[in-house]
Amino acid sequence: MSSTDTTTPSETKLTSAEVVQITKDTNYGTWRYQKGWNPLHIVDAEGCYITDGNGKKYLDFSSQLMCMNLGHKNPAVIASIAKQAEELAYAMPGYATTTRAELSKLLLEVLPKGLNKFFFTTSGTDANEAAFKIARMYTGKTKIIARYRSYHGSTSGSIAATGDPRRWAMEPRGKGPGIIFAPEVNCYKCPIKHTYPTCGIACVDYLEHMIRNESDVAAVIVEPIVGTNGILVPPSEYMPRLRKICDEYGVLMIADEVMAGWGRCGTWFAMDLWGVTPDILTTAKGITSAYVPLGLCATTEKIGDFFQDHYFSHGHTYEAHPMTLAPAVATIKEMQRLGLVERAKELEPFVEEKLQALKAKHRSIGDVRGKGLFWAVDLVKNRETKEPFNTYVDKVSGKPLVVDQIAGKLAADGVMIQAWVSHIVIAPPLIVTKEELEKGIDALDRHLSIADELCV
Ligand code: PMP
């Protein structure tokens, strides 16, 4: 550097290789062994496309963890962030702000009817932590019934309620007080070996059996359509039945719509698929299309009223942060203007048909299932036994996974896809076109031979 050069070393443009190296050296790669972490350098994104440090463009078939429902570079959302920063970057949560009132009014329009008291957080995890505390304060009870094959977040309460093996790292010392697990709903691989519909949805009967045989149950938490653990869609009777059971025993129903909400399933919220209103709904991700971190814990008025005369013992410095609320207002308005919820619903049969055709062609596909623009391609070694190529135990022990090999090939082919243990998720931004859907699914078609060849 010459003596007249005014750039400091930290202002010098880093090469892609340097960006990756510094990130690896100084950051944790999450939910993985640190060894072998080689993050892709992302430099730009627009609509359904992402560009890496080498100028390679990818079709984003995962919406980046099922977040970017509006796609990248939405001008209205970007403008809302700039405007809010200029007007009022922050005010303590005890104050009312115009943005807060505007968002609350919009939420009343789009949330399942009856949810009208809001607590704004900064992630899905802390929305669920709030839900647990609210449920416990309101009912005066402790236990939360969660289900296996669920994910509810990464901090102590929410990881304790997570029914997949990511919880194991925290046990026994992180075992949540009073969290108990019910079997998941999974009609493709029923954990209690029943077959729908002759089972009469025995899994929900089992949940009732648990409530009857336990004392001190405050709430049941469910992902209405299980996200990470396999896009598990319950039979249509499940949620209405669970609603009845919760009412009968005075147990609160918490719907975790962090991933399934915001049009992903072809309705504003997954619970709308069955016309069921939970007592508490939690969400995040699509609420701002992830332009800014925001979470929400919404409750019924009845729960809200309880706290008129009871101390609401909860809060965060960054709760209802104006910078997080403004892009949510813009996101909801954009979703309404572009008709994205309807669009996800309209595209559902097209995706289903394409994926069923893929299943007919590839013997490694055991099942395809989903709603709206939220689908799983479930891979098996053998269709008869339904044995997966890998299990969660393989994942947490760092074993290479077949789905990761497929995702790697797809990335080389210009399609970014979310692969998880033994299934591949199809969840592009809701602005995706039929041509883009076709392009991504055709790319998957080209690389499924990796799994087909391993079938037994
Ligand atoms: N619940 C569900 C259903 C989720 O999918 C997630 C995140 N994938 C969370 C909770 C946690 O949200 P966050 O990562 O924003 O804390």
pLDDT by residue (tens digit) across 263-281?
Answer: 999 999 999 999 999 999 9
**What is the per-residue pLDDT for 4?**
45
Give the atom of ligand 1 at the shortest distance from the alpha carbon of 226.
3
Question: What pLDDT band is residue 288 in, cutting at 50, 70 and 90?
Answer: very high
Give the atom of ligand 1 at the shortest distance from the alpha carbon of 153.
11
Give the atom of ligand 1 at the shortest distance from the alpha carbon of 223.
3
With 70 as the cut, is the pLDDT of residue 9 above it?
no
Q: What is the pLDDT of residues 109-157, one digit of tens each?
A: 999 999 999 999 999 999 999 999 999 999 999 999 999 999 999 999 9
Q: Is the CB–ligand 1 distance for residue 151 below 6 Å?
A: yes
383 CA from centroid of ligand 1 (Å): 31
| Best residue among 31, 144, 152 to mutate for probing ligand 1, ranked by most atoms within 8 Å of CB | 152
Instruction: Specify the residue with its C-alpha closest to ligand 1, atom 13.
Output: 124
Q: Is the CB–ligand 1 distance for residue 298 below 6 Å?
A: no
**What is the per-residue pLDDT for 30?**
94
With 80 as the cut, is the pLDDT of residue 292 above it?
yes
**What is the per-residue pLDDT for 11?**
66
Q: What is the pLDDT of residues 164-222, one digit of tens each?
A: 988 988 888 777 779 999 999 999 999 999 999 999 999 999 999 999 999 999 999 99
Question: What pLDDT band is residue 362 in, cutting at 50, 70 and 90?
Answer: very high
**What is the per-residue pLDDT for 199?**
97
Q: What is the pLDDT of residues 309-361, one digit of tens each?
A: 999 999 999 999 999 999 999 999 999 999 999 999 999 999 999 999 999 99
Q: Is the CB–ligand 1 distance for residue 286 below 6 Å?
A: no
Give the atom of ligand 1 at the shortest distance from the alpha carbon of 285.
15
Topology match between the domains 9-73+340-452 and 75-338: no
With 70 as the cut, is the pLDDT of residue 23 above it?
yes
Q: Is the CB–ligand 1 distance for residue 259 below 6 Å?
A: yes
**What is the per-residue pLDDT for 3?**
44
Q: Is the pTM of this model over 0.90?
A: yes
**What is the per-residue pLDDT for 169?**
86
| Best residue among 144, 164, 259 to mutate for probing ligand 1, ranked by most atoms within 8 Å of CB | 259
**What is the per-residue pLDDT for 10?**
57
Q: Is the CB–ligand 1 distance for residue 417 below 6 Å?
A: no
| Best residue among 256, 258, 283, 418 to mutate for probing ligand 1, ranked by most atoms within 8 Å of CB | 258
User: Mean pLDDT, the chain, as a whole number?
Assistant: 95
Q: Is the CB–ligand 1 distance for residue 228 below 6 Å?
A: yes
**What is the per-residue pLDDT for 1?**
39
| Best residue among 67, 132, 271, 285 to mutate for probing ligand 1, ranked by most atoms within 8 Å of CB | 285
Can you tell me the distance from the alpha carbon of 161 to that of 155, in angstroms, rounded to the nearest whole number?
Answer: 10
Q: Is the CB–ligand 1 distance for residue 125 below 6 Å?
A: yes
Q: Look up the CATH number of domain 75-338.
A: 3.40.640.10
Between residues 436 and 3, the one the model is more confident about: 436
With 90 as the cut, is the pLDDT of residue 8 above it?
no
Parse the chain into domains and list their residue ranges: 9-73+340-452, 75-338
CATH class of the domain comprising 9-73+340-452: alpha beta
Q: What is the pLDDT of residues 221-243, one digit of tens each?
A: 999 999 999 999 999 999 999 99
